Structure 1
């Protein structure tokens, strides 16, 4: 039974990752209204007409439905056969976040909402993926969340502060997409050919996100340097901080590629999905470090 639970946990994490990526595609392709103002039907049908926008939106809905069924099965088996309280917490939070984002998605179709609320939809998807990833890790060698070395309070503060700040940066990125402000800054690293552009409208929104992303990179770089200096002998802390730096570096690069590809619609959609997927991985590694700091208190 343990192997079945592990497989379902892995499928859940993969499914949540796919939902997050497809949600980013829905936003980038402006397909959120691809099924009109109907839910769960799409233009009055279970199988909609084969337009691009309806196909993207309906595929996203279908994947959410299938993954939700997998989560329910995983939830039952974890509470029935797994004794670890952290596993029960992770699957509970995954299910809760998935249900909330599904409800928000349905409401967004029926009653159009502000960009501030729509951006939160991606944030909830990110949390759902992070919890599902932690659940999957429970059944691996990384799932024994006790670090090999005591962690200083300063490092713990840096980990948690960086993780919370990363969520804010991700929210700003989602807000950029939902306000269709991406074109506010043409070119990278300069914005409209300027180091500091006129901070109005879409340009101000995009430039704020860029500065926030730069500060996030510096925070994770500081996290990595501290881990290398003090915790290189701890495989788990070293693993999490190293991959957090790798993914935030890829995030910066992919953000630049998204800007450069704005003239090509296909490339723009593809790079936007890649950017969202890298963001999810980065946040997942930061959450893993947070769990290590929590369990250090019990060591």
Structure 2
């Protein structure tokens, strides 16, 4: 598995190495951002095709590094349950997801190693070591290294605990958080590479409002991501098959206690009984209605950031992706959960994470004393 991870990572590392970009470290960070976005989208595809247990052990597949070697065991499981969780196709989907995750882990290790090497070398060769240390900060990539270890642990528990909803939800939320952390790091590298233009004094007051709204948007989006992950991990997406009503009512019969009990098996209550449909309705209903809060808060953020120089492009993209999220969310219900639209809905959520992170970083940077 380690060799496979190195082989997967060798492709983006080689692309960075041979690129003509003068700042290869910055390029490495943004390549990691791009691949993490891809990993989130492919992770959604893995979950939505019920491939999460395509290989029912971890980190390998029936103890092997790839489904080729585990061919006999996979075919035996598939013959017993042709439409079950273990098939050759699902095994490959699950393992490709793991390979990509391990490859990103190698990239983060490379980022951490380069940062520490530059930091030690810079401190020995620089007269103003304190200023250099502020510019080259190995602490952040080191934090990313430990964070991806935590993410990997949740990935392992997702499999070993048989898709228990709390672990599936945690795995998705941590994946989105990793994307945000990497994008923040990328923003910092962009700033060091080429400073953004100053904001005008007339925009200073608006920038303050943007910072508050952008921070609030991050919190609101995080809550919605957790609710969406909880909806998906409990297979509650089609608990309501109409919009804006659900089961013919704006407020249908719901069981919030069972639906939002965090520690329980998939499809079961905490007592081990089958989860009632009213619990799935509650999960879906909360995610659907909290989307209105997301639209209002993120919409206000985009509106305030739109005319600010350095934030306008990101604000326009937030507005566009937000509109697309509304469309894919409703279309998922009306078209009976089509795979392409459902994956697109997850991709839109990741895009919002990326865009909001950049707005938060840029607003913070533009509001720094040197830019007043």
TM-score normalised to the size of structure 2?
0.70
Aligned equivalents of 2:185, 2:236: Cα separation in 1: 35
Q: Contact (CA 8 Å) 2:39, 2:100: kept in 1 or not?
A: yes
Q: In structure 2, what is the equivalent of residue 58 of structure 1?
A: 95
CA positional deviation for 1:86: 8.1
- Aligned to 1:60, what secondary structure does the other structure show? helix
User: Among 9, 12, 15, which residue is 2:35 paired with?
Assistant: 15
Q: Output one character per residue of 1:182-207: Cα deviation in whole Å (capped at 9) or x when no partner.
A: 11110334334443333331112111
Deviation digits for residues 221-243 of structure 1 (CA, Å, limit 9, x no counterpart): 12222334xxx1x3222223222
CA contact under 8 A between 1:146 and 1:292: conserved in structure 2? Answer: no
Q: Does structure 2 conserve the Cα–Cα contact (< 8 Å) formed by 1:94 and 1:129?
A: no
CA distance in 1 between counterparts of 2:312 and 2:212 reads 17
Task: Tell me which moved more, 112-121 or 84-93.
Answer: 84-93
Give the CA deviation at 1:132. 1.8
Are positions 1:166 and 2:186 aligned together? no
2:324 to 226, 240, 250: 250
Mapped pair 1:278 → 2:355: no
Separation in 1 of the partners of 2:198 and 2:349?
25
Aligned CA-pair RMSD: 2.6
TM-superposed CA distance for 1:76, in Å, is 1.9
> Among 277, 280, 283, which residue is 1:205 paired with?
283
Answer with 129-138 or 24-33: which moved more: 129-138
Residues 1-299 of structure 1 aligned to structure 2 (within 5 Å): 2-36=22-56, 38-48=57-67, 49=71, 51-81=88-118, 85=135, 88=138, 91-112=141-162, 114-140=164-190, 144=195, 148=199, 149-151=203-205, 153-199=208-254, 200-228=278-306, 232=307, 234-262=308-336, 268-295=338-365, 296-299=367-370
Query: 2:112 is paired with a residue of what secondary structure?
Result: helix
Question: Which structure is higher in RCO with an 8 Å CA cutoff and minimum separation 6?
Answer: 1
| Partner Cα separation in structure 1 for residue 136 and residue 343 of structure 2 | 31
**Cα offset for 1:278?**
1.0
Aligned residues: 290
Is contact 2:52-2:163 (8 Å) kept? no
The alpha-carbon distance between structure 1 residues 262 and 86, as it changes in their structure 2 partners (threshold 3 A), is farther
Kindly state the Cα deviation for residue 90 of structure 1 after the two structures are TM-superposed: 5.0
Question: Which 5+ residue runs of structure 1 have no aligned equivalent?
Answer: none
Q: Work out the CA distance in 2 between the residues paired with 1:67 and 1:156.
A: 30
| C-alpha distance in 1 between matches for 2:327 and 2:166 | 26
| Cα offset, 1:113, TM superposition | 6.3
Give me the whole-angstrom Cα distance separating, in 1, the residues matched to 2:196 and 2:108.
Answer: 23
Q: Which moved more, 1:154-163 or 1:75-84?
A: 75-84
Checking the alignment, whether the CA contact within 8 Å between 2:39 and 2:101 is kept in structure 1 is yes
Following the alignment from structure 2 to structure 1, what is the Cα–Cα distance between the partners of residues 286 and 194?
37
Note the residue ranges of structure 2 that are not aligned, 5 or more in a row. Answer: 1-16, 72-86, 120-131, 255-277
